[in-house]
Amino acid sequence: MTHRHFLIHKPFGYLSQFVCELKKKKLLGELHDFPTGTMAIGRLDEHSEGLLLLTTDGRVSEAIRSKGVEKEYYAQVDGLITDEAITQLQQGVEIGLRDVKYHTAPCTAFRLETPPGFAPRTRKIRDDRHGPTSWVSITLTEGKFRQIRKMTAAVGFPTLRLVRVRIGDIHLHDLPPGSVQEVASFVLPEREEVSS
């Protein structure tokens, strides 16, 4: 059997799945005619955007999820993020996961000096009269539930918009929101190629 692999720029407001019991939810199958058995590798929540990998090969999905592959996100935060907050993010912060506290692993984080040139979101973030915003890049190898949002809130700068721009060596680049690109394989760190 020949498996197929896809990159998608998941837009705001879509679930990272193909089936949902809740009515009026936007699903990935509305964006493209994917083959039967296509699954998302990892997830982005409904309000997050950006790079999502899909495959028909469960072995590929497991290989990528189990290797601690880097995932880079650009977060637009409320306020002008400080050097102190960046340092806290880099060192790890305490966040809540259900009923327990969790200390995030050290990560790469830095302020983006110029805003990334993303297309405007389908739902407006907010008006300028509510104060300034800034952008930060955060790269993780872990992936707890809503982790980036909880991390920026923990250092006093809640996330207003979140876009995943990279998974391992695979970049979002200028793929427009809602677009799908089929690829022959996914390349992992150490140049390990994962294909069917």
Would you list the DSSP string of 30-52?
Answer: GTS-PPTT-EEES---TT-EEEE
Known catalytic residues are: 45
- Spatial separation of the C-alpha atoms in residues 1 and 146, rounded to whole Å: 35
CATH superfamily of 71-167: Alpha-L RNA-binding motif (3.30.70.1560)
Q: Check if 5-67+169-194 and 71-167 are the same fold.
A: yes
Residue 191 has pLDDT above 60, yes or no: no
Which CATH architecture describes the domain 5-67+169-194?
A: 2-Layer Sandwich (3.30)
Kindly state the helix (H) or strand (E) to which residue 152 belongs, with its residue range. helix 147-154
Q: What is the pLDDT of residues 2-48, one digit of tens each?
A: 899 999 999 999 999 898 887 788 999 999 999 999 999 988 999 99
- pLDDT at residue 185 in the model: 85
Q: Which residues lie closer than 8 Å to 144 by C-beta, 6 or more apart?
A: 95, 97, 102, 104, 150
Can you give the pTM of this predicted structure? 0.91
**Domain extents in the chain:** 5-67+169-194, 71-167
CA nearest to 64, candidates 54, 73, 74: 54
Q: What is the pLDDT of residues 96-120, one digit of tens each?
A: 887 889 999 999 999 999 999 898 8
Q: What is the pLDDT of residues 77-90, one digit of tens each?
A: 999 999 999 999 99
